[in-house]
Amino acid sequence: MGRIVAAWLTAAALISNAQVKQPDYVLRSEVRLVRLLTTVKDPAGNLIGDLSKDDFKITDNGVPQEIAVFERTTSQPLSVSLMVDTSASTATHLKNEMDSVHRFLRALFQDGNTQDRAALYSFSWQVVLEMSFTRNLGRLESALRRLTSHGGTAVYDAMQLAARNLEDRDGRHVIIIVTDGGDTVSSVKFGDALEAAQRANAVIYPILIVPITNGAGRNTGGEHALETFAAETGGKVFAASIGSQLDKAFDNILRDLRSQYLLGYYPANIPRTKDKFHRVKVETPSRSGLRISTRSGYYGDAAP
């Protein structure tokens, strides 16, 4: 009996030692694909669509990664969440905004993947899902006509809800925010809203309606927050007035979405870190001077 106990203790000690001497790298039995929707432009803002897989370099927390998936001008289906600010300050220009939104939706469904879908949210002091994901333009138009202006501006609450509703959808995830100012009444903090968007692998395009052209009276802090949302997720913020400028902003967003590269990799040899957020960087070493827009990273294991 003593020999059995001694042998058991020896084996336990060996297992304990083996556990203590863990490698410095994360070992995953099931590593999932990290997908990076990437837009590339030259210094003049012209889209670049002729790059090959070998033109790109990806690092994950500073570690070079092997590109496993490459699609030039990907046609993966779009799930577009349109978030419309209906706070009291939008009352004078809400109808004109809706006209531009309608034209964007018509153009979205006219070309591209037949599986593209859009959802409509309104947000003031509360967030309302006016229409869940659909390709039925008539239903979206009816939802647009129902919108009225009232209350404060819950941008972060709307962002978090839209992001969570995107997480399990196939294809590409896009959030477009049409607003005239910063957040005023959300219960969700800026960082939580941004994390939700990053976990959903959503590209954010804020359209800032600027009825006030000078600095006085503008929520510049809120505008900077929208700029950060765009920069961290690979999108772009647009400052537009009602009418042709707003239409142009929507046109530019649609042009970007029709010209995205899809890059994918399986994380390998990533050093352990206390920070759950992995910083990802995409470069084109062979084509210097190009401007690359993609998400800044991901949380924990790779997003599906």
b (16+ CB within 10 A) / e for 135-147: eeeeebbebbeeb
In the chain, the percentage of residues whose pLDDT exceeds 70 is 85
**Identity of the amino acid at 297:** G
Are 39 and 46 within 8 A, CB to CB? no
> What is the SS3 assignment for 154?
coil
Over residues 89-98, the pLDDT tens digits come to 888 889 889 9
> What is the SS3 assignment for 182?
coil
Q: What is the mean pLDDT of the chain?
A: 87
- H-type alpha helices, 146-285: 155-166, 190-199, 220-233, 244-257
Closest of 231, 209, 232, 214 to residue 98, by C-alpha: 209
CATH superfamily of 78-257: von Willebrand factor, type A domain (3.40.50.410)
CATH 3.40.50.410 in the chain: give the residue spans.
78-257
Does 18 score more than 70 pLDDT? no
Q: What pLDDT was estimated at residue 27?
A: 38
- Tokens for 8, please give them: 């058991």
- Tokens for 49, please give them: 């669509």
Does 182 score more than 90 pLDDT? no
- Tokens for 119, please give them: 């959802």
- Degrees (nearest 5) of the Cα angle 36, 178, 166? 40
Give the residue-averaged pLDDT of 222-250.
Answer: 91
Closest of 84, 92, 205, 206 to residue 143, by C-alpha: 84
Does 73 score more than 90 pLDDT? no
Cβ-based neighbour number of residue 69 at 10 Å? 15
Whole-angstrom distance, CA of residue 227 vs CA of residue 231: 6
Does 192 score more than 80 pLDDT? yes
Does 258 score more than 70 pLDDT? yes
Does 214 score more than 80 pLDDT? no
Are 259 and 279 within 8 A, CB to CB? no
Q: CB-hemisphere CA count at 13 Å for 127?
A: 22
Lay out the sheet containing 78-85: strands in order across: 127-134, 117-123, 78-85, 172-179, 202-209, 238-240
- Tokens for 160, please give them: 């978090």
Does 179 score more than 50 pLDDT? yes
Over residues 20-48, the pLDDT tens digits come to 444 444 434 346 899 999 999 999 999 99
Are 58 and 64 within 8 A, CB to CB? yes
Give the residue-averaged pLDDT of 285-302.
Answer: 90
Q: What pLDDT was estimated at residue 22?
A: 42
Does 7 score more than 50 pLDDT? no
Closest of 116, 142, 229, 146 to residue 182, by C-alpha: 229
pTM of the model: 0.85
Over residues 150-171, the pLDDT tens digits come to 889 999 999 999 999 999 999 9
Angle between helices 220-233 and 155-166 (to 10 degrees): 20
Phi then psi dihedrals of residue 262, to 5 deg: -115, 120
